[in-house]
């Protein structure tokens, strides 16, 4: 890449030599400064992603945390949901300490647990393999080369004629200049094209590598394979994505026209090949096996895994599917679930009416009562709940870092003022029901005066057992 | 003069390399320890989860008293166990009891419709996965660390400061890796095992 960049700089020689080089360096420097400091936040806001807390989608958080453990990342990535029906996902973060993973609502409603895990693992692999850094760097290179050659070509258009007229009096200078100018023009036209092709080829290789790493992390190639199958069959374009952000996603968010040219200019390898390779891995989940499967499917011996990865020949078995392998709800129900999810992200509250209708309460509603749109029953608006949800979301965005685990609810504001008391019967294991219906467990070692419910946050006063109670 | 500078530069370079290698060895060793602690964190998480799970399931699973008791028993054994060998055996038994429980649950549609239970089940699945991935990550870290200790030139530094090789985590019980076989014909009649 550096070579391509230097070539881009060299063609400034006829115009101003070192000045051109300096200018090119400046362009490159400014672009990379911008992208390194704020690439992730720009990308996240461009895609319309919103940060969420664990309560909104516990499963997504669990899966991300599982993969964080498997990848030994130093910090939990922040989790974002994009309000889009198209199933897709991407990861950002130049340093592994500060990363984010974003998935669309459509993805969550379509995939089951194992598949979601495969997708998250693929994104985590991009972080782990420093692909985000690579894409950012390569994007900056590409961008600066395009800018420089554009500027050069355009300036040549205007100054070229005049300089030749000026040089015509000095024949020697003109003859030396002409081949150089021609060479520079050739470079200026070819450099962006070649860099772009190189960029695409590298980007496709990184996708294969991320697939291989994902399998290594999850020990379960089938999860990612069937996720890719579902994602590619969805055929919904992601309006928020464009050519620049495309390489970040798990599959290309732009709908292809299906020409053979896309083999050369796509940022992602054909999904069918990726699935075939993943399904070709049957015994082990290490890099070597992926490389073998790749060679079988593509019929060529291109090495896609770095040598250091291939040297790790430890035996890694493939695990079995998780007990709950039910397919995620499809069709209308799936869409409804995705919509509910987005309402939860947008801090709606839900009320279940006796007639079976789920009433969605917007966060800014201030009426004390709401009538069911189907049967007309009056419901009390859970203003406290709305306030609590909003406060929790506000705290999350203020806090900046996502909590590493599911918060145990003790820090959530308690609802209502009623005093809950439980009288212990003895010293052994005991359980009681909180006002919200959740069963709480007391251990023999419990020594505090209050127990906070993990579900609603209500605190219950725990009374010591009466005298003479059986131990 | 130049004969004095050259050896000095070489010695300085060696010292810098030495410090670098030593520090990276310490970092790797700490990562191994951290990964080991992570397994403990996840096992603790599972212990905390079980009482709630059993309590919620109790009302629905009247005929599975034995399965539930097995879990509670295995949990208290695992919490009391001392030493790595005894502990991993107890945790293995707990894993077995839990996976049997998750299979039996399939026969109780009422329980599976309970929102509270669904959340707990998701927690349990996630915790089981985390334990697996924490072990996996520990083994990865041990592999890096051992490679570093055995390879030249870091093996010299490792030998001088007696960095000992890490031990891989291996699952003692073969049964833990296998999905329990269940004959759906007589679940409920005999679930003691």
- Of A100, A94, A70, A69, the C-alpha closest to A82 is A100
**Within-domain flag for B26:** yes
* pLDDT tens for each residue of A76-111: 899 998 888 788 888 888 777 888 899 888 888 888
A53 min Cα distance to partner chain B (Å): 16
Q: Which residue of A has its CA nearest to B47?
A: A443
* Number of domains forming the structure of chain B: 1
Q: Which residue of B has its CA nearest to A316?
A: B136
Q: What is the pLDDT of residue A168?
A: 43
Q: What is the pLDDT of residue A64?
A: 92
Q: Which residue of B has its CA nearest to A321?
A: B179
Residue A54 has pLDDT above 50, yes or no: yes
Range in A407-416, A446-455, B115-124 the model is least confident about: A407-416
Q: What is the pLDDT of residue B11?
A: 93
Q: Which residues of B touch A (CB under 8 A)?
A: 31, 35, 38, 42, 51-52, 55-56, 99, 102-103, 116, 119, 121-123, 125-126, 129-130, 132-134, 136-137, 140-141, 143, 177, 179
Which two structure tokens, joined as six digits, stand for B180? Answer: 């329990």
- Of A72, A59, A44, the C-alpha closest to A213 is A72
- Of A1, A227, A278, A24, the C-alpha closest to A111 is A227
Closest Cβ–Cβ partner in B31, B116, B179 for A320:
B179
* pLDDT tens for each residue of A16-26: 556 666 777 78
Handedness of CA B83, B85, B89, B95 (dihedral sign): positive
What integer best gives the mean pLDDT of chain A? 69
Contact A119, A107 (CB under 8 A): yes
Among A193-202, A374-383, A440-449, B101-110, the range with the most confident prediction by mean pLDDT is: B101-110
Q: What is the pLDDT of residue A325?
A: 43
Calpha distance A141→A137 (Å, rounded): 6
Which two structure tokens, joined as six digits, stand for A179? Answer: 């081949």
Cβ–Cβ of B133/A70 closer than 8 Å? yes
Q: Is A127 on the interface with B (CB under 8 A)?
A: no
Q: What is the pLDDT of residue B9?
A: 93
* pLDDT tens for each residue of A402-416: 333 333 433 334 344
Question: Which CATH number fits the domain that encloses residue B62?
Answer: 1.20.1440.20
3 state SS for chain B? CHHHHHHHHHHHHHHHHHHHHHHHHHHHHHHHHHHHHHHHHHHHHHHHHHHHHHHHHHCCCHHHHHHHHHHHHHHHHHHHCCCHHHHHHHHHHHHHHHHHHHHHHCCCHHHHHCHHHHHHHHHHHHHHHHHHHHHHHHHHHHHHHHHHHHCCCHHHHHHHCCCCCCCCCCCCCHHHHCCCCCCCCCCCCCCCC
Closest Cβ–Cβ partner in A62, A437, A440 for B122:
A62
Q: Which of chain B's residues have a Cβ under 8 Å away from the Cβ of A319?
A: 132
Which two structure tokens, joined as six digits, stand for B73? Answer: 């028993």
Is A123 catalytic? The answer is yes
Q: What is the pLDDT of residue A295?
A: 73
A379 min Cα distance to partner chain B (Å): 22
Q: Is residue A413 within a helix (H) or strand (E), and if so which, with residue range? A: none
Q: Is A63 on the interface with B (CB under 8 A)?
A: yes
Q: What is the pLDDT of residue B10?
A: 93
Q: What is the DSSP letter of A248?
A: G
Residue B68 has pLDDT above 60, yes or no: yes
Window 293-352 of A: residues touching B by CB (8 A cutoff) are 312, 314, 317, 319-320, 322-324
**φ/ψ of residue A56, rounded to 5:** -70, -40
Among A112-126, A253-267, A288-302, A372-386, the range with the most confident prediction by mean pLDDT is: A112-126
What integer best gives the mean pLDDT of chain B? 81
Closest Cβ–Cβ partner in B42, B122, B136 for A58:
B122
CB pairs under 8 A between A and B: 68
Cβ–Cβ of B123/A70 closer than 8 Å? no
Cβ–Cβ of B55/A429 closer than 8 Å? no
Residue A13 has pLDDT above 70, yes or no: no
**Within-domain flag for B16:** yes
Average pLDDT over every residue of A232-236 = 72
Residue A71 has pLDDT above 80, yes or no: yes
Residue A50 has pLDDT above 50, yes or no: yes
Q: Which of chain A's residues have a Cβ under 8 Å away from the Cβ of B41?
A: none
Task: Supply the pTM of this predicted model.
Answer: 0.67
Range in A25-29, A41-45, A163-167, A429-433 the model is least confident about: A163-167
Closest Cβ–Cβ partner in B55, B125, B133 for A441:
B55
Residue B12 has pLDDT above 90, yes or no: yes
Q: Which pLDDT band, with edges at 50, 70 and 90, does B17 fall under?
A: very high
Q: Which of chain B's residues have a Cβ under 8 Å away from the Cβ of A72?
A: 31, 35, 137, 140-141
Residue A136 has pLDDT above 50, yes or no: yes
Among A142-156, B4-18, B179-193, the range with the most confident prediction by mean pLDDT is: B4-18
Q: What is the pLDDT of residue A401?
A: 40
Q: Which of chain A's residues have a Cβ under 8 Å away from the Cβ of B125?
A: 62, 113, 322-324
Domain boundaries defined on chain A: 2-311, 347-399, 408-471
Q: What is the pLDDT of residue A368?
A: 66
**φ/ψ of residue A183, rounded to 5:** -60, -45
Pick A305 or B153 by higher pLDDT.
B153
Average pLDDT over every residue of B135-155 = 86
Which two structure tokens, joined as six digits, stand for B133? Answer: 């991935």
Closest Cβ–Cβ partner in B42, B51, B179 for A441:
B51
Cβ–Cβ of A59/B122 closer than 8 Å? yes
Residues 6 or more apart whose CB falls under 8 angstroms from that of A52 comprise: A60, A79, A80, A81, A345
* pLDDT tens for each residue of A239-257: 666 555 666 677 776 655 4
Residue B13 has pLDDT above 90, yes or no: yes
Closest Cβ–Cβ partner in A69, A219, A323 for B102:
A323
* Cα–Cα–Cα angle for B81, B86, B90, rounded to 5 degrees: 70
Q: What percent of chain B has pLDDT over 70?
A: 88
Cβ–Cβ of B136/A219 closer than 8 Å? yes
Q: What is the pLDDT of residue A403?
A: 39
Mutate to test the interface with B, among A407, A433, A439, A456 (most CBs of B within 10 A): A439
Cβ–Cβ of B52/A439 closer than 8 Å? yes
Contact A254, A243 (CB under 8 A): yes
Catalytic hit among A65, A115, A123, A430 = A123
Cβ–Cβ of A66/B103 closer than 8 Å? no
Q: Is A251 on the interface with B (CB under 8 A)?
A: no
* pLDDT tens for each residue of A268-300: 777 788 888 888 776 666 677 777 777 777 666
Q: Which residue has the tokens 């990964």?
A: B35
**Within-domain flag for B190:** no
Cβ–Cβ of B122/A441 closer than 8 Å? no
Number of other CB atoms surrounding residue A365 within 10 Å: 13
Q: What is the pLDDT of residue A300?
A: 61
Residue B28 domain boundaries? 2-177
B97 min Cα distance to partner chain A (Å): 14
Residue B191 has pLDDT above 50, yes or no: no
Q: Which residue has the tokens 């599911």?
A: A406
Window 431-450 of A: residues touching B by CB (8 A cutoff) are 431, 437-441, 443
**φ/ψ of residue A328, rounded to 5:** -65, 150
Residue A399 has pLDDT above 50, yes or no: no
Q: Which pLDDT band, with edges at 50, 70 and 90, does A447 fall under?
A: low
């Amino acid at each position: 890449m550096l070579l391509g960049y230097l070539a881009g700089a060299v063609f400034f020689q006829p115009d101003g030599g070192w000045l051109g080089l300096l200018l090119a360096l400046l362009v490159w420097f400014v672009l990379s400064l911008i992208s390194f400091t704020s690439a992730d936040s720009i990308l996240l806001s461009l895609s319309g992603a919103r940060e969420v807390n664990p309560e909104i989608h516990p499963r997504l958080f669990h899966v991300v945390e599982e993969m964080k453990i498997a990848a030994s990342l130093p910090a939990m990535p922040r989790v974002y949901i994009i309000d889009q029906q198209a199933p897709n996902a991407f990861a950002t973060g130049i340093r592994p300490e500060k990363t984010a993973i974003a998935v669309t609502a459509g993805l969550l409603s379509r995939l089951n647990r194992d598949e979601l895990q495969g997708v998250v693992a693929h994104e985590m692999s991009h972080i782990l393999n420093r692909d985000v850094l690579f894409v950012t760097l390569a994007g900056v290179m590409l961008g600066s080369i395009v800018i420089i050659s554009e500027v050069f070509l355009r300036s040549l258009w205007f100054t070229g004629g005049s300089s030749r007229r000026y040089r015509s009096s000095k024949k020697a200078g003109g003859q030396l200049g002409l081949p150089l100018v021609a060479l520079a023009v050739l470079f200026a036209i070819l450099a962006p094209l070649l860099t772009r092709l190189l960029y695409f080829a590298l980007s496709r290789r990184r996708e294969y590598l991320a697939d291989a790493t994902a399998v290594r992390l999850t020990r379960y190639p089938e999860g990612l394979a069937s996720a890719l199958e579902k994602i590619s069959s969805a055929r919904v374009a992601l309006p928020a994505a464009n050519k620049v952000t495309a390489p970040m996603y798990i599959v290309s968010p732009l709908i292809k026209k299906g020409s053979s040219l896309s083999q050369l200019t796509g940022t992602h390898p054909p999904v069918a090949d990726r699935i075939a390779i993943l399904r070709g891995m049957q015994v082990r989940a290490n890099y070597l096996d992926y490389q073998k499967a790749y060679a079988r499917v593509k019929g060529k011996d291109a090495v896609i895994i770095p040598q250091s990865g291939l040297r790790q020949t430890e035996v890694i078995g493939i695990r079995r599917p998780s007990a709950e392998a039910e397919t995620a709800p499809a069709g209308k129900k799936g869409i409804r679930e995705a919509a509910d999810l987005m309402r939860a992200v947008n801090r709606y509250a839900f009320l279940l009416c006796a007639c079976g209708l789920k009433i969605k309460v917007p966060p800014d509603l201030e009426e004390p009562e709401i009538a069911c749109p189907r049967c007309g029953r009056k419901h009390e608006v859970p203003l406290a709940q709305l306030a609590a949800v909003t406060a929790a979301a506000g705290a999350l965005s203020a806090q900046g870092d996502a909590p590493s685990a599911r918060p145990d609810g003790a820090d959530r504001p308690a609802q209502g003022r009623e005093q809950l008391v439980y009288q212990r019967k003895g010293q052994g294991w005991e359980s009681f029901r909180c006002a919200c219906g959740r069963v709480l467990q007391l251990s023999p070692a419990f020594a505090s005066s209050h127990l906070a419910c993990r579900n609603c946050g209500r605190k219950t006063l725990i009374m010591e057992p009466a005298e003479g109670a059986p131990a | 003069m130049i004969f004095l500078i050259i050896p000095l530069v070489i010695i300085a370079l060696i010292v810098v390399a030495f410090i670098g290698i030593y520090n990276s060895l310490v970092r790797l060793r700490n990562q191994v320890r951290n990964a080991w602690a992570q397994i403990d964190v996840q096992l603790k998480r599972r212990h905390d989860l079980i009482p709630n799970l059993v309590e919620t399931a109790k009302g629905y699973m009247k005929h599975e008293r034995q399965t539930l008791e097995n879990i509670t028993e295995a949990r208290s054994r695992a919490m009391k166990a001392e030493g790595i060998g005894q502990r991993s055996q107890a945790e293995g038994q707990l894993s077995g009891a839990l996976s049997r429980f998750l299979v039996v649950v399939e026969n109780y549609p009422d329980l599976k419709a309970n929102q509270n239970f669904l959340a707990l089940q998701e927690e349990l699945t996630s915790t089981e996965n985390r334990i697996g991935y924490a072990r996996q990550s520990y083994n990865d870290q041990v592999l890096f660390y051992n490679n570093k200790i055995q390879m030249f030139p870091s093996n010299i530094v490792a030998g001088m400061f007696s960095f000992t090789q890490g031990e891989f985590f291996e699952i003692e019980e073969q049964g833990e890796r296998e999905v329990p076989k269940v004959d759906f014909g007589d679940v409920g009649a005999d679930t003691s095992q």
